[in-house]
Structure 1
């Protein structure tokens, strides 16, 4: 029996993200078809895909401070607005520079 290894970027995705990816693949990458499956407009699906891309990019960044990655994930997931995220990240970096 093979042991499955899930890439770090994939482990960061929630069930809804994985479901979206599955539907996207089954629709052969057609955003129009995915929009029909979800019953939403094409721009809504495009926005969802853009956010998913951002999540994956954040998950792929090696060596990034865990705190900064967390703040970015919260912003991408609409749990925190981007302006607040920038402020928190800048303050964190400022603190780190003062300590180091």
Structure 2
């Protein structure tokens, strides 16, 4: 886990790398994986999730923690990382009309999106 600023609490940036073998240092602004910002418990969950190949039922068997608790933890983790589950693209009608008004999508595109949303509501 990367440290946070002791003054403001925001994530700190990586600006220097050092090789402990030959003492070479490289300075600059370095990109860091979003996973580097996870705390120890979240990282343990991610590792277990990967080791179980994403099978929450297997994680339930191994940990004794209920499926829905694990699912909730996964949802919180996705939220922390700013990710949406695939297929959870909730269509907001207001957003469709805003995009249409700004001419970001065509009328046909807007109708297709709204039809797809309507079909999804009727299925579930």
The TM-score, its normalising length taken from structure 1, stands at 0.49
Q: Whose helix proportion is higher, 1 or 2?
A: 1
Could you tell me the TM-score, scaled by structure 2's length? 0.40
Larger Rg: 2
* Structure (1 or 2) with the greater strand fraction: 2
